[in-house]
Amino acid sequence: MTFLKILTFVAAFLLFQIELIIGRILLPNFGGSYLVWGSCVVFFQATLLLGYVYAHVVVRKFGIERYRKFHFLLLLFPLFLFPGHALALRYEPLGLPLVLEVFRVLILTIGPAFFVLSTMSLLTQAWLSHSSLQERKNPYALFAVSNLGSFAALLTYPFVFELFMDLRIQQLIWRGLYGVLVVVSVLAYRWVPATTDLKIKQSQQKPISKMVLWQWFCYGVAGVMIFLSITNIMTLKVAPMPLLWMLPLAVYLLSFILNFKAKHWCPKWIPRTIDFTTSLGFALYFVLMKIDMPFYVVMALFLSFCFVVCMFIQNQLYLSKPTNDEQLTSFYVVISLGGFIGGVLASWVMPLVSTSFLEYFVGLFFLALAWEMDQKKQGPVWRLGVWLVILMVVFLIAPLFHKRMMLWEVPVFILVITAITAQLRKYPRGITSACLLIVLFNPWIESNWSKERSFFNHRNYYGTIQIYDNSGVRFLVN
């Protein structure tokens, strides 16, 4: 088990850290646009999904024992490129669109190594589940180890590697660790044999229901969109501080670690109060548009909300994970597909189709869609419609009374939204419908909640722009 833990941890550490290293290399080459890093993130998610699909197919087709032997050849293949050779620090563009330029460089440089590393987590979990080790009963614990490796890479890169080492030394250490990964793989193959085959007989397998598959997908979309939307709000609207983007990502990874570790942990009050948490999420977004709060208070509120929601999502995924180990790879493929779609929506689509941070509510929509999917509630549709109308009236009318919300009005507004949400919870698709309406009416709602009545709003990959007049003076706010 120790060898598999080391293998999983090192692979995840290398996988995550190479994202930061190559992003650091590419930014000076292609400019500091958010689109550069956004393109990298989508490439990483797409390659991770491809690695999951590949592992899922070959393990099911050939079995874990045969695949383990072939995997050693796969580990050696990247040595012909990177990490066999150091990455160049300068890349000349070919005149292609920025996204295609970034993808071209990534494919030709770290693409093979990233792909190989992306298969390691599924390989080690399938390996463990078909070994003679006592821990084989819970192979998902290695998923927590994998996220712990990513978490370690996230925290050590800006505060250790980037602070004390230049890019050449960073690459040298990374390449050395890749060699360690190969050695540990050989030792694991020698000391942790796979005693049973993972080649699947479809007739012996109970198929996963379509509803469960859709829930996995929607939770995957929701988790990524919510943490990315909070990242966007914090870094583009609240305070454009260096390294602030690390905090929501750290919370997201931590939620995986806590839920999938050997001793699963998630406070019982989190799933019990998810409807209340969602209503707080609605209120938090709009209240902070009307009231001035200290920076650290705003950060604490958003990060706390992100933590509770992500903990709920990962807890639901953990509880619904397949009991049949042969379906383990399917579980990760579907979640990864959802994460990829969520990343594309939050990083590429929303900045072009919305002048506000609409991805925040789209993420909540997928969250509600997932958790209400298996709830069979009955109730007259007209009553649901009445409560939805009341909710929209509150959102549209409440901000018109004052230009800036008084402090005592905040708890009153939260209580009103919570009470309405509690009523919506009684009807099928009540919260989902509320999220959808907020998405559809968002331009009018945000216009009323804005402190200043702007006549021009714009958003792109660099941030948001608002232009308004006040007392004969024209202001531009970025």
pLDDT in tens, 59-71: 888 888 888 888 8
pLDDT value at 432 more than 90: yes
In the DSSP assignment, the letter for residue 179 is H
Q: Is 462 exposed, middle or buried (0-12, 13-18, 19+ CB in 10 A)?
A: middle
Local confidence band at 209 (pLDDT 50, 70, 90 cut-offs): very high
- pLDDT-derived band at 180, boundaries 50, 70, 90: very high
Check whether 203 has a pLDDT greater than 80.
no
pLDDT over 70 at 33, yes or no? no
Q: What pLDDT, in 10s, does the model give residues 437-465?
A: 999 999 899 888 887 788 898 988 778 88
Percent of the chain that is helix, strand, coil (3-state, to 5): 75, 5, 25
H or E element: which one contains 113?
helix 111-118
Band of the pLDDT at 367, cuts 50, 70, 90?
very high
DSSP annotation string for 191-226: HS-B-S-----GGGSPPPPHHHHHHHHHHHHHHHHH
Residue 475: band (very low, low, confident or very high) from pLDDT cuts 50, 70, 90: very high
Spatial distance between the Cα atoms of 31 and 469, rounded to a whole number of angstroms: 33
Question: Quick one: pLDDT at residue 96?
Answer: 83
Single out the residue of 173, 152, 338 nearest to residue 246, CA to CA.
Answer: 152
pLDDT average, residue stretch 268-274: 94
Quick one: which of 431, 429, 420 has its CA closest to 376? 429
Residue matched to tokens 């080790």: 133
CB 193, CB 131: distance < 8 Å = yes
Give the type of residue at 417.
I
DSSP letters, 236-270, are III---TTTTHHHHHHHHHHHHHHHSSS----THH
Using CA atoms, how far apart are residues 40 and 45, in angstroms rounded to an integer?
A: 9
Q: Could you tell me the pLDDT band of residue 325, with boundaries at 50, 70 and 90?
A: confident
What is the tens place of the pLDDT at every residue in 279-296? 999 999 998 888 888 888
Q: What is the pLDDT at residue 201?
A: 45
Say if residue 196's pLDDT is above 70: no
pLDDT at 104: 92
Q: Do 151 and 249 form a contact (C-beta atoms < 8 A)? A: no
Which range is least confidently modeled, 4-18, 170-184, 265-279, 405-419?
A: 405-419
Q: State residue 348's pLDDT score.
A: 85
- pLDDT for 202 equals 45
The type of residue at 171 is Q
Q: What is the pLDDT of residues 144-158, one digit of tens each?
A: 999 999 999 999 999
As a whole number of Å, the end-to-end CA separation of the chain is: 52
Q: Helical H runs in 291-404?
A: 295-319, 328-344, 350-353, 359-371, 381-397
- Both tokens of residue 41? 């993130």
Give the model's pLDDT for residue 238. Answer: 79
Average pLDDT, whole number, for the chain? 89
Q: 18: closest CA among 228, 175, 124?
A: 175
Each residue of 370-421: pLDDT tens digit?
Answer: 999 987 777 788 899 999 999 999 999 888 877 677 777 888 899 999 999 9
DSSP string covering 19-79: HHHHHHHHHHHH-S-HHHHHHHHHHHHHHHHHHHHHHHHHHHHH-HHHHHHHHHHHHHGGG
